[in-house]
Amino acid sequence: MTQIVSNRTGRETIVKAEGKNTEIKIVAKQETERKIDAIVEIKFNQEHNFKDNYKVKLQAYESKGSAQSPWDLGIIKDLGTGNFNFSLLGMSLDRVLFRLKVIDENNFVKGEANEIKPSLKDADDKIKINDNSSTLIPIREDKRINLPFSLDMEPDSSPILLVKAGLNMKQLFKEDIQIKVLIYSSIIRQILTTYLADPAYKNCQKKEKFIEKVISNSGLQNEIPNYFREDGKVNEEATDWIEEVTAGCINMPIIKAGKRTRYLEEFKKICLKQKEIEDEN
């Protein structure tokens, strides 16, 4: 059994040292002279017994320098996979440190990790901060496609989201939540359907990794149904599973522009707001 350590204040110590019991890991790289890109992985030990409504906050600061405002990563219950991407402006990688706090409903600190030094190991491979590269699916402009977006997919190759060149689609995908959600909904559903239904992908080398990732992002734990029933008809449980996983994957908690958000929830808010404006007119 893992030993849970409390400090003299009664706050439980969150493990930051690398090893099998690591609870927080931060990988970072210097993107430009004064911009750092980072990915944070959090997996709290259940023996802490943190309550579901405890808040989690992360702060970046420089030794002998400035500090960023803390990021609100949400509550324990909604952490999901606990993976967050973000960028830091005006900081230097050789001086940046992080502190993590778990705070109860009365704003008392129940757990903490201080002076977390980011890892630089394999940063180029692990960090995918730009919104279009942090997705499950790489994005590439292609002038040959007729539609605004399409899917390039074949066995043993990673699926690629193609966007029409010359339409500024990559930038729109990055900045416009409505476009992102609509494209993601279509593409993730199409990839999952192909992997489950097309026998050509039965032994695809990329299939298992992609499905594991979307399941992890969605937070679902149920088994993957067979796409076809014994009578050869499409299994409704499989199509329902694809819809649930796609929605959960799109709605996973992320950090965007320093704020915690969920794309599907933001999409609904924007649509309802536009409807209100139309009704008023």
Is residue 7 situated within a structural domain? no
Q: Is the pLDDT of residue 177 over 50?
A: yes
Distance CA 249, CA 217 (A): 5
Is residue 256 situated within a structural domain? yes
Do 206 and 88 lie in a common domain?
no
Q: Which residue reads 């704003």 in tokens? A: 107
pLDDT tens per residue across span 110-135: 999 999 998 876 555 554 433 333 45
- The region of weakest confidence among 26-35, 58-67, 117-126, 128-137 is 128-137
Mean pLDDT of 39-46: 86
User: How many structural domains does the chain have?
Assistant: 2
Q: Which residue reads 């404006």 in tokens? A: 277
Do 46 and 168 lie in a common domain?
no
Q: Which of 104, 126, 148 is the last residue of a domain?
A: 126
Query: What residue type is 243 in one-letter code?
Result: E
Q: Which of 98, 126, 154 is the last residue of a domain?
A: 126
Distance CA 38, CA 127 (A): 6
Which domain covers residue 68, as residue numbers?
A: 12-126
